[in-house]
Structure formats: structure tokens, C-alpha cells
Structure 1
Amino acid sequence: MANDRIHLKTGEEIGGRAGATIALTPSTDKRRVSLPVPPDWVIPIIFIPGVMGSHLRMSRKRQAELERNDNRAWRPDEKIDSLSRRGDSPKRRQLNFDPDETEVDRYEITEDAGRFDLMGEATANSDKRHRNVPDGLPDIGLLMSAPLPAAAEQWKAKRGRHEATAAQKARWRGWSEVMFESYGTAIKLMEARMNDLLAPTGEVSLAWKMPQSIPVLDVDPGEWGGAGKPLTEDEIRRVGNCWYPVYAMGYNWLQSNGVSAGKLARRVDEVIAMYQSNGRRCEKVIIVTHSMGGLVARAMLNPKYGNGIDKKILGIYHNVQPPVGAAAAYKRVRAGFEDAKGNLVAAIERAVIGKTGREVTAVFANAPGPLELLPSASYPRGWLRVQTSEYRQVMALPVASDEPLKTYVSELQLHKKLGTANPIAPVVMGDPLYDIYTRNSQSWWRLLNPDWVNPAEKKYNKSDPYAKAKQRIADAQDFHKDINDLYHPITYASYGADPSQRCFGAITYRVNATELSRFGDPLSWELVSEDGEGRIVVRAENNHTLQLRLEPPNDAGDQTVPSDASASRVRGTMVFRQTGYEHQNSYNDDKVLASLLYSIVKIANTAPWWVP
């Protein structure tokens, strides 16, 4: 009879082992309990957040210097703490966001519940810290709290034994080390839907046939901005006998994305090895990224950073990645973060990182990761512009022509051959590093104000802080060369191309003059002052003083990454061009979520081990 059997689910425990909790019943209860045998195959899904999307903690040394009661460096999910820092000085911001004195704020819990107390002091403190994943997190996918009756809970408590909750298991998987307010919807959706592909009968589950939200099965991907065939039941059945545990892996976004790629590659290796040691078949992972996390994932494909982990990646889904950088990074260093416009997450970023160029420079100039968001040499040239008061363009950098560089290189070779003095370098060459980022301090369009670079007066061995910062920019441009056009062969991607979500595809300064011929070439103007909010005063020819003001953003995108200049340059099997969302909150948009689920199933179908 149907009532003679109780069907329970098998879930995943901390440490990656399959498990289930069954409560003993009175001898009069004759019902049998059945548990499904876990599938052999496991394909972990690894979520990599964007810049500022990972929580950071500071060293004991830095905590003491800043006289903080705790070691929080960056936890945007904790809004009160974050907004309380909006009055921090540039010096304090530099010390708080020091890549050498920070690390990812990871959850701490034992993986051996048989030997160690799951509710010990370290775990209790960590649980309190990581409540951005709430204690009451309901059962999701493979993450289940033990369904014990009250008597059984009391019996275990007397013996100092506790079962891990769904929230603790999620935190152990890294969910709480990332900005859960922005990413929680997508992380929970992947865990729920990818671990409910098939019903016990082997048919496609109702979660896919009749979903309460985010329908994907048999839906034309054109509805989400893509172009291809709908997902079929056969494709779901093919990959259904497998577990897809979802992990979130934060990284220290202040450090170079190349460094982060190496660290995450090791963590991915550890996850695969863990499942293999548990007797499961686990060979590859699927990676899902947001924004700058896409640069980290692409760096993992380069053996220089990933150390061969590319062979263990089945495929990648990118969302709102800036493949060749974003002009907003330049704007923020010169004039601070944009107004939040009612967006709380953006308000926190602006309050903590900086609303002025002086505040942002104190952080970004000393942090390789954010500098890797600057437009690379592959970004469309001419993105830094000057217009007259009548909107006539009179300057655009980097210059479009390669001739100055070619001529200079040719002359260098000739002078070297003849043994004569080197020729004078041209004013501009067509490369952003030379044309813009590392100009001398009096070039009004240069990136860094030397007076803003090191307010904490941090000491560097035999190196000037300003020179050190310019070297970081050069290294950032080299990083982009290492990942230029480097994509996984199975890549899916989505990005925003919304005219109403305007962003800086180009940076335009408008000068308070209509006719500039009597003021000379803008490249000859010398900097007099800048206010860090978009206003620059220069001295032009004949000692005339001019004022330049930053123009508002004017390009389609997602308020951060311009679609035409950067986002659309992603390469993939299928790319979804979308509208209707802002950059940081993209994973709360239904079109993004649908394209995400579609892409993961498509990627899973490419695994070579499935039975045809």
C-alpha cells in the first residue's frame, strides 16, 4: 500500500558526503522508510562574484591600527556597519582596503561532525557573523536541515551532538562569503532547480515542467535575448542522474585577478578531490560568474594563473562581464562613484569606497584588482574626449592611428643601429597606458593625482608610491594581454544593453569655451586643479584659464558596463543581449535567471560521460 512506505530525500552533508537523518519511531509504526541511492556523478557549480562582491576581513595588525572592535573590512550585506563608514578619511579607506592586509571572510566550521562539536565557540561566532545567509534558510536542493522530532533533538543535545542546519551547510559551501543580497536569488535557484531535474519515476520533474517562476523548458531563448533552440525534456533527462551542488567562492577583489584565479583554481581542485575521496565520480565543474568574476574565470583558463584547472572546467556562464574593461573605472578614480539613485547596494559602495576621486584613488591606486577594470588596449579607442561648449569634439584618446607608434619604433631601431641618441617619443601613441594612465602629473587627463595616492603614507622599499601605483596600472594592462580573447570553448553569456540604464562608454569633458583655436591643443594644457567630483581647471595657451566639466553618461548598458564598447565583446556559444536591469542586481532579473538555467543544462549536456 502507498501508506506503508515513507519516501525521504538524500541530501549532502558538510564535507560533501551524502546523508539523511531518520528518526526512530515506536515499534507499532510498521511503515518502511526508503531513501534514494545518490547518483555516481557530481558536477559542482562554482559561482564567482564580481568586484566588491566578496566579504573581506582585515589582519590583526590592521584591526589594531584602525582601532576597530572587529576585523570587518568589507561586508556590504551588513548595511548599518557599511553606511557608518561613509565619513571615513581617504587615509582610513586606504588602510581598510589594503590588499596586503585583507583576506576573504570565510565561514569556519568542522567538516568532521563525528569528532568535533558543530556548535562550538568558533562555529557559533562564525554563524553569527555569516547570518547574511539566514539561520532559518529552508531546505533547498541538497541542503536540508535534519527533520528530527523534539524528543530526538533533546536526546542529541544532552550528548553534545548536533545536526548541521541547511544554513550551516550553505555557509560551508561559501554562500555567506559573497554578497547574498545580490547573488542569493541565483544561488538558491541553481541549487533548487539543478538538483530537482527528475522525478523518482525518471521523468522530468514538475519543477521544470510546471515551474512557479522562471520557465525554461521548451521556451524560445529569444525571449531572454538569445538565439538558438529551446531546451528539451530529452536534454534534461540526459543529465538528470547527477548532483549539482552549488558553491560560492569569494576572492580578495583588491588583489590581481590573476592571483585570485590561482587561489580559486586550488579551491576547485580541492572540491573535486573531496567528492572523489567520498567515492563519487567528479571530474569537472561548471563556473558561473558576475562582472569582474568573469575576468577571474578567464584567467583560470591560462596555465600561468590556473595551473591547468581549465581541463577540469566543463563550461562557463558569464553575466555582465567587462571583457575589455569599463570607462567607469577611470571616471571613479577621477570623480568618485556615481550617485546611487535609490539603489541601496550602490549607495553602500559609494559610501564605503568613495564619492569623490580623492577617496576612490586612495583605494584603487593601491589595489591591482580594481585597476584591471580600466579600459584595456582592446577597448575602442577615443574613449577619453574633450568637447567645446557647443559639443564639438576637439580631442579623443587613445588616438585612433597607429602611425605615431610605428614611426617611433622604426626610428628607435634606426638610431640603435647607428648608435645615435634615441628619438623624442610622440605625444600620443594609441595605447591607453601611454596616452592616458601614466602621463606626468601635470597632464590634466592623466589617471592618478599623486597627492591622492598614498594618504596613509605607507612605506615602500626603494619605491615612490606614485611610481608604484603607475606600475600597478602597467601590470593591469599586461594582465589583459594574458586573457585577451581567451574564452572557454563552451561559453554562454548575458549582458545588459538598455538605453535607459546609461553608463560611461566614453568619458567626455566639456570645456567652457566655444572656439578653442586661440587656446592651443588640449594636449598642451596644464593642470591647475581638480575637485575630485568632475571639475578640472587647466592653464591653456597665453596663460588663459579654462574649466572642464565631466558630462553625464550617455551609452546603453547596465549603468556600469557599456554594451557596445565592452559587454558585447564577450565570445560564446550563445550570448544573451538583454534589457531591464542594473549591473549589481542583474542576478535578480528573470531574463538573466532563465538564461542561466538554460545555459547550465546546455553545458552539462556536453559532458562526454553521459549515455547517448
Structure 2
Amino acid sequence: MSISSEINRIDITWWELFDTIQGLKTEVQNRIVIEREVIPIIFVPGIMGSRLKFAQGEDQGERVWDPDASWFMAKKFGLASVDAAEKKALLVGEKFDPDYLEVDTDNPKLDASFLRRYPGANKRGWGGVMLGSYGPILQALHDHRWKEPVGHCFEFPVHAFGYNWTASNLDAGRKLKEYIDATIDHYAKGLKDEAGRPMERLCTRVILVTHSMGGLVARSACMLHGAAKEVLGVVHGVQPATGSPAAYWRMKAGFERPTGGPRKSIWDWVLNPLKMLERLGMGHVSAWILGTNGEEVTALLGNMPGGLQLLPTREYRDNTGSRQWLAYPGADGHTVSLPRSAPYDDVYRVRDNVPWRMVNPDWLDPGQQSHSELNPATGPWEKYLGCLDKAEEFHDRLGSQVHDNTVQFYSTTLDSPDRIVYSRESYDQPSPRRQQGELLHRFRNKGEFQAYVDGNDNMRDTSAGATAVVTMEPFSGTGDGTVPDSSGKALKVPTARIGREAPADFFSIDHQKIYETDTAQEIVFTAVWNLALTRIEEKVGKISEC
């Protein structure tokens, strides 16, 4: 008996796969067409990971920040001729305005050849994020082949959500909520049954995958703007959930320069010469672009609510569990341990001329007249306090709130700033280390912070009247180089740890590169798989085998 060439087409929705399929015929070809559910995956990058352009004024549309364009970034931010005032003019302007900048999605890297491999990537927001860091995870998710039953039930189009990272994460969270709604509306298909009645839409929720500060944006969208019901689940990678002292350290000393490898010896160069050259070379280039010293970083972060929201919150604890993450050896021989209560008043709002204050008021608006001559009600310090108020309010509103279906991973074993420690040396008996520091840096504090102090612990502009020199020590906690362990695993959710199992892994598990690692990508794949299974169980109940 031969089978007829007739094709019996049967249209079903994915959940009907788990029941007896109706309409099958014998002696004909049965073609089952499955209407799969669309679950968009939206990637949310970290600070400085979104491309930005001017949103207003005569320069509207002009590119401002493009981390994928090395020469552009060098000209705008990295040349020795570009000072702190010029950098501030680009990213902040005269006074912070959340609408000063907007995302630039017109990335030339999304050319015809790229779009042939990843069709529609330009329409899904990929052009608005740093492809150098996030391209690997976006491409890996796009190319992944999902095993059954997930592969037969769902489609996972990959989106990227760029945002203005200078603004508050409260604002970015609201815009992410709007983007989630628009994305669901785009994919939702209104089906009708035989009686013409509307059936369940086949796109109702998304999955969020985040990097660093993007985790705060996603939590803001879910917990402060009502997006939780449209989110199936969240994967947070290396999120500073309770902040990081790295933000404090950089506002004092600029961005850190990498110094060594996994062994911290000559063997690092013998065994990994190319990786060491790349690590040190790129680290120094990044410091020149992002901020060579405390003045350049303070001029930017001190005027950005988004940047200040990366500071340690009142919930922050160092890797030992202590809430006092700043230690300063006072002139009286006693250690000043801070914060005593909350860091906002105890550290961030301190204006007195003490070495451990976070912000030098004269650095907030570089190139202007002495700030002591400015109207205190409208001067740079008052503007900074306004941004800090937004950061504190955001920290308090968000707290430890998290989406019910959340997993997180953090990276560890690299030197990281879990606490800030100062040392003190008598000026009358200088050590070789301090003499070398004065000779090389003359307290310009590029990649370090040193200060002359008198007997009352007030900073001096020169050595005249100085009794000691205080130094902010290089950090030595564990983490991913930016986020310490304590903050990376702070949320009370299922947690995965990425460590250094071999010396070579040292070069691939730092904060910015983490999504280039196979381990981080596998964590995301597994989390998406498990979330898809929960969706199946919502619809058809427990399934016995996958």
C-alpha cells in the first residue's frame, strides 16, 4: 500500500505537543506545524557599555561615546591634550540633564556582512551597545541550538537595551519597562479559535540578562516600575548589588592600572607574554580614556546620578562581613573606621579638608574659578549633592528587592576593592617607597592617591607644615577586579561562582570580559533553559523527561 502524496497539514500551538494530537490521518503525509511562543531575551549592559550621542542642541545627533571605536575614543577622551573640563563638557555639560544624551544605535560595525549572519540585529538594539564586550554573548545566544522540548516550543530572539548610563538607574529602569512592553507587543500574535474567540497571545514575557550596572537597571524596571509580570526571569552577571568601593577609589586616584598577572612575578611574562602585554597595554589605555586621575573621574562621576549609584550602599559589607569598609590611621594614633552609620553622610557628603573625604569640591567643575568664590546654593558642590541625593534615594527604594525568578553569578580570585585602606608615614622620616612616589608622581595621583597632612589631619597643598604623608593602598580583596565577592553574591538568590581554575584563566575572568568566557555563557544557557521549562510547566504541568 503506497502513501498518498496528499499533505495533511495540522496547525497546533506548542502546548498541544504534550497532548494527543488531533486530526492525524493514515495513508497520507501528516505535516504538523507548531506555533512556537516567542520569549525575547533582552541583554542590559553595564555602565559605559552603551553608545551615546547628543540628544539636543546644535550638536544633536553627534556621537559622544563609542567604546567600539578606538581612535574616536582616543581623540575625544584619551589624548594628553584632552583635560577633565573637556571630558565633562562631552558627557555632562554645564549641569546634569538626563535628556542631554541618548543612545546611538547606528553602529557602523553592524555592516552588511554582519547583518547577513545576524539578520535584524540592527532592529533589535545591538548597535546601541559595546559589541567588543557584549558581542560574544549576543552572538552565542543567537547561534545557540536549544534541545527539545525547548527548541520545539520557543523562539528566543536576542535584543540589546542600550541606555543613558549617566542618568539615574531609576530613569533607565522606566525606559527598560517601556522597551519590554514594546518588544512584547511587537512579537505578540493574536490567534483566534474556530469560534473566532481570541486565544492566548504567543508572546507574553521576556528574559533579562544583565551585566554589572545593567542589573540595577533591570531590578529597577521589575521592582520599581512594574515590569516583573512581563519578565519570565532574570540572569544577573557580576552585578554590584550593594555597590563597590571601586567607585570611591577611582574618584580619589583615577582608574587603576593593572600591574601583574596570576603569579605576580616574572613568570607571568615568561609563560603568558602576549596576554600580559595585552592586559597591561589595554589597562593603561582604558585608564587614559576613562580617567587618568581623581580629578577626571570626579568631574564625571560626581555629576552623574548613574555613576554615583555604583557606590557602596548602606547595605554594603566588605568580604569579611564588616559594614565599616574605610580605614584611616588618624594623627592621634587611632584608626578612623567608616561608615559609622550610613556612608552618605559619613563619607560621601564630607566636605572638610580631610584626606579620606571622597570628593574634592575643586574637582567637580574643572577649569572654573575657585569654588569658594561661587554661590554655594548653585555651585558645583550643590549640584553634586543633588546627584548624590538621587543615588541615595534609588539605593533606598531598590534595597534588596529582586525578581522572584532570578539567578546571579559573580567572578572571583582577582584583586578587588572590597575595602579602602590608608597608610601613614612620617614626613620627617620618608621611606624609599614614598620618596619614589614623590619623585615620579609629585602627588598628581595618577593611579594612586597620596596627600600631605598636618598634625590635625588637614591636607596641605605643599609639604610646608606637613607632618605626614598618607597613601591610599592598592586594593587586595577578592572579586572580579571591580566588584568584590561580597557585592557580587549579595542577593539571596541561586548563585554561581566563576573562579580561576588555571593560571591562564586569570586573563579572561575580569569584570568587563566575563561574558567572553564559556563558563558565563553556559550559565546563561542553563538559566534560559530552566526558565523555559518553568513556562512549559505553567502551561501543561510537570513533564517527566526533557
Pick the TM interval, shorter chain. Answer: 0.7 to 0.9
Whether the 8 Å contact between 2:216 and 2:241 is mirrored in structure 1 is yes
Stretch moving more, 263-272 or 439-448: 439-448
- Number of the residue aligned with 2:250: 332
Shift of 1:460: 10
1:236-262 CA-partner distances (Å, limit 9, x unpaired): 415642111010001100000011000
For the residues of structure 1 that align with 2:284 and 2:113, how far apart are their CA atoms?
28
Other structure's SS at 1:512 match: strand
Residues 1:172 and 2:123 aligned together: yes
CA 1:323–1:549 in 2, change beyond 3 Å: closer, same or farther?
A: same
- Number of the residue aligned with 1:463: 378
CA 1:364–1:36 in 2, change beyond 3 Å: closer, same or farther?
A: farther
1:1-40 CA-partner distances (Å, limit 9, x unpaired): xxx9xxxxxxxxxxxxxxxxxxxxxxxxxxxxx9995634
Residues 1:53 and 2:49 aligned together: yes
Whether the 8 Å contact between 1:503 and 1:558 is mirrored in structure 2 is yes
Shift of 1:587: 0.2
- Number of the residue aligned with 1:81: 72
Other structure's SS at 1:57 match: strand
1:86-128 CA-partner distances (Å, limit 9, x unpaired): 1311111111112536433343xxxxxxxxxxxxxxxxxx4xx
Shift of 1:75: 0.3
Give the residue type in structure 2 aligned to 1:300: A
Whether the 8 Å contact between 1:272 and 1:282 is mirrored in structure 2 is yes
CA 1:139–1:311 in 2, change beyond 3 Å: closer, same or farther?
A: same
For the residues of structure 2 that align with 1:133 and 1:347, how far apart are their CA atoms?
28
CA 1:443–1:62 in 2, change beyond 3 Å: closer, same or farther?
A: farther
Shift of 1:532: 4.0
Residues 1:248 and 2:225 aligned together: no
CA 1:38–1:48 in 2, change beyond 3 Å: closer, same or farther?
A: farther
Whether the 8 Å contact between 1:317 and 1:599 is mirrored in structure 2 is yes
CA 1:609–1:382 in 2, change beyond 3 Å: closer, same or farther?
A: closer
Give the residue type in structure 1 aligned to 2:348: Y
- In the alignment, structure 1 segments of 5+ residues that lack a partner are 5-33, 65-69, 108-125, 144-165, 198-203, 205-235, 400-429, 516-528
Whether the 8 Å contact between 1:364 and 1:370 is mirrored in structure 2 is yes
- In the alignment, structure 2 segments of 5+ residues that lack a partner are 6-29, 192-200, 260-277, 318-322, 429-441, 458-464, 542-546
1:543-568 CA-partner distances (Å, limit 9, x unpaired): 6522111211101111101113x112
Query: TM-score, normalising length from structure 1?
Result: 0.66
- Number of the residue aligned with 2:235: 317
- Number of the residue aligned with 1:147: none
CA 1:603–1:513 in 2, change beyond 3 Å: closer, same or farther?
A: farther
Residues 1:132 and 2:98 aligned together: no
CA 1:74–1:38 in 2, change beyond 3 Å: closer, same or farther?
A: farther
CA 1:176–1:289 in 2, change beyond 3 Å: closer, same or farther?
A: same
- The residue correspondences of 1:461-610 to structure 2 (distance < 5 A) are 463-498=378-413, 501-513=414-426, 531-533=444-446, 534-541=449-456, 545-564=467-486, 566-579=487-500, 580=505, 581-607=509-535, 609-610=538-539
* Count of matched residue positions in the alignment of Structure 1 and Structure 2: 440
Query: TM-score, normalising length from structure 2?
Result: 0.74
Shift of 1:349: 4.0
CA 1:393–1:241 in 2, change beyond 3 Å: closer, same or farther?
A: farther
Shift of 1:475: 2.3
Give the residue type in structure 1 aligned to 2:512: Q
CA 1:585–1:345 in 2, change beyond 3 Å: closer, same or farther?
A: farther
Give the residue type in structure 1 aligned to 2:85: K
Shift of 1:277: 5.3
1:510-536 CA-partner distances (Å, limit 9, x unpaired): 110499xxxxxxxxxxxxx97444112
Shift of 1:309: 1.2
For the residues of structure 2 that align with 1:36 and 1:452, how far apart are their CA atoms?
67
Shift of 1:294: 0.4
For the residues of structure 2 that align with 1:60 and 1:560, how far apart are their CA atoms?
33
Whether the 8 Å contact between 1:76 and 1:345 is mirrored in structure 2 is no
For the residues of structure 1 that align with 2:128 and 2:519, how far apart are their CA atoms?
25
Whether the 8 Å contact between 1:298 and 1:487 is mirrored in structure 2 is yes
- Number of the residue aligned with 1:295: 216
Q: 2:84 aligns with which of 90, 113, 133?
A: 90
For the residues of structure 1 that align with 2:34 and 2:49, how far apart are their CA atoms?
33
Cα RMSD, aligned residues only? 3.1
For the residues of structure 1 that align with 2:175 and 2:393, how far apart are their CA atoms?
19
For the residues of structure 2 that align with 1:550 and 1:512, how far apart are their CA atoms?
12
How many percent identity over aligned positions? 29
Residues 1:611 and 2:540 aligned together: yes
